[in-house]
Structure formats: structure tokens, C-alpha cells
């Protein structure tokens, strides 16, 4: 199964479950295009990255930029993490 097909099926699942508010942690090489695509699909997205300038690039696509992990998870229906190391998350 191609990664594109997996991505589309996950987006369809979010639509089916009516999850519109997404928190996204990790706006790097993989996270940026994924978050950008979610915004294109019409989702409300709050983004967080340790280096805020990476997250700031999503503003022009309609993302809300969070300054903490606690802020990004608050009121999110689902949270996506795209990190190299989960030990980076400290709530």
C-alpha cells in the first residue's frame, strides 16, 4: 500500500469521525507538508515546534501557532506528533 493511499485513508477517517480540531507537534521535514495538507483539507490546526520559526511557516496556510505543548493539545480532537524522539515531549 502506498504512503499516499494510507494518508488519504487517514484523512477520510478524521472526516468520518468529525474531528476538525487537530494539534500538530513537530513541524520538520515530514511534519510541515503533512500539516500543510491538513490545512488544505479544511482542518483547524494548532502547530507547535521547539524552533518556533519552523511552525511560523504554517501561518500563511491558516494554522494557529502555539507556544507550548499544553496549548497545542488543549481543545484538540486529535494530536499528531512527528518527532525523531518522543522524549522531546514534556507536558
CATH number at residue 67: 3.40.50.720
Given a contact cutoff of 8 angstroms between Cβ atoms, the answer to whether 58 and 27 are in contact is yes
Q: Which long-range contacts (CB under 8 A, 24 or more apart) does 10-15 make?
A: 11/37, 11/38, 11/41, 14/43, 14/78, 15/41
How far from chain centre, in Å, is Cα 87? Answer: 18
Supply the angle between the helices 31-40 and 3-16 in degrees, to the nearest 10. 50
Q: What is the pLDDT along the chain (91 residues), one digit of tens a residue?
A: 555 545 556 666 666 667 789 999 999 999 999 999 999 989 999 999 999 999 999 999 999 999 999 999 999 998 999 988 766 666 5
Given a contact cutoff of 8 angstroms between Cβ atoms, the answer to whether 43 and 34 are in contact is no
Q: Whole domain around residue 17: which residue ranges?
A: 3-88
| Domains in the chain, number | 1
Amino acid at each position: 500500500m502506498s504512503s499516499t493511499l494510507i494518508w488519504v485513508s487517514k484523512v477520510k477517517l478524521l472526516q468520518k469521525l468529525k474531528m476538525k480540531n487537530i494539534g500538530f507537534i513537530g513541524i520538520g521535514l515530514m511534519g510541515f507538508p503533512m500539516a500543510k495538507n491538513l490545512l488544505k483539507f479544511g482542518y483547524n490546526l494548532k502547530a507547535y515546534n521547539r524552533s518556533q520559526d519552523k511552525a511560523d511557516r504554517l501561518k500563511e496556510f491558516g494554522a494557529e501557532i502555539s507556544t507550548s505543548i499544553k496549548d497545542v493539545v488543549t481543545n484538540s480532537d486529535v494530536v499528531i506528533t512527528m518527532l525523531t524522539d518522543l522524549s522531546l515531549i514534556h507536558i
